[in-house]
Amino acid sequence: MALPYNRIIIKIGSNVLTQANGMPDLDRIAHLVEQITEIKKQGKEVILVSSGAVASGRSLVTVSEKFDAVATRQLLAAVGQVKLINTYTALFGKHDLVCAQVLVTKEDFRDRQHYQNMQNCFQVLLQHHIIPIVNENDVVSVTELMFTDNDELAGLVASALNADALLILSNVDGIYNGNPKEEGTKVIEEIGHDATDLASFISTQRSQFGRGGMLTKSYMARKVAALGIAVHIANGTTQNVLTRLLDEELINTRFTPKKAASGKKKWLAHSEDSAKGVVQINEGAKQALTSPKATSLLLVGVTAIRGAFKKGDIVKLVDETEKLVGLGIAEYDSENATEHIGHKEQRPLVHYDYLFLNPDMA
């Protein structure tokens, strides 16, 4: 039975798109394009988040060792992104499909207006049956402007577009219940909302050519699933991985989605870096917020305010051990909040409708 997904984000990692020598694997890219074509024929919407610009640049340019890592990455990305999008254009063109390049930075997701502009751009592309191909703008994204990796970017895109599913193609079959190299270790095929301590058996090793690893994938996957979007992690080097996954014929890890969240909460989920202040809460407030009942944050449960923020700004909520509880939009400024810390009979500092809870807490 085919999975009932209509709007699908497909993220293809560097280790799927590259050969062992770091050069692009054109045969595999062509095979993935063929599968995406089959999915499109079923009337589904597909947005592709693709790594591979730096690898494509590496196939064209030899960089002198005198340049530092940032300059080298900028050069390879600038040259390689042209080759990468031309490769996709030619391959999709064989199937009479048109693709579009969408390059973004982290800043595009921090500002609400930019965020909505991006949503509008994607929407008009999809309405014209064009396949958006998204990548980080590595030419200008350096240091603090960089996404953790393209998994984070894919999660942001999935959230912004209210996708039904995010398919992450890596070079492993999914998340294992132990060391994949040890006998008897199996892929965890379903991870629910109450899963805990995944980090205890997930390797922190990063991929050979990418910036991320399975730990960042799992963290991002839980966050996206908490917003109502199914997330699958599968082996992109497997033959017909996409069509078999959607037909439920492939072993992979699926993160079970919760009830769909509002658009504001989906934006908030990925806005930690945009927070203007920190609100520390006591244990009672933490228990109330993370209970099944929808609860707003009242000042009676606040123990400290740090940083200056205005009404409408994003704030971090942390517990007494400084662990992130959630992100919210402040209903009034830090000065008024500080003045009424611990007081009862005050309207909420953060209303439930504008509160996203850390999935590790909820």
Known binder of ligand: residue 51? yes
Beta-carbon count within 10 A of 316 CB: 22
- Best CA proximity match to 162, nearest among 6, 40, 274, 36: 6
Compute CA distances 336 → 164, 183, 333, 347, whole Å: 40, 59, 6, 12
Q: Which CATH number fits domain 7-265: 3.30.1490.100, 3.40.50.720, 3.40.1160.10, 3.40.1190.20?
A: 3.40.1160.10
Instruction: Give residue limits of the domains in the chain.
Output: 7-265, 275-357
Compute CA distances 231 → 48, 78, 187, 263, whole Å: 15, 31, 15, 18
Backbone angles phi and psi of 11, in degrees to 5: -105, 125
- Please give the CATH topology (third level) of the domain spanning 275-357: 2.30.130
Residue 76 is predicted with a pLDDT of 86
CA distance 250 to 218: 19
Known binder of ligand: residue 11? yes
CA distance 251 to 234: 8
CA distance 258 to 281: 25
Known binder of ligand: residue 138? yes
Termini Cα distance of the chain: 32
Digitized pLDDT (tens) for each residue of the chain, 362 residues in all: 689 999 999 999 888 998 888 788 999 999 999 999 999 999 999 999 998 888 888 888 887 778 787 788 788 888 988 999 999 999 999 999 999 999 988 877 777 788 888 899 999 999 999 999 998 876 666 655 566 678 889 998 998 899 999 999 998 999 888 777 788 889 999 998 666 556 555 654 444 434 446 777 888 898 899 888 999 999 999 999 999 999 999 999 999 998 766 667 777 777 787 889 999 999 999 999 988 888 899 999 999 999 999 998 999 999 999 999 989 999 989 999 999 998 888 899 999 888 988 887 65
- Contact (Cβ atoms closer than 8 angstroms) between residue 330 and residue 315: yes
Taking the model in full, what pTM does it have? 0.79
Q: Do domains 7-265 and 275-357 have the same CATH topology?
A: no
Known binder of ligand: residue 173? no
Burial class, 206, CB count within 10 angstroms (exposed 0-12 / middle 13-18 / buried 19+): middle
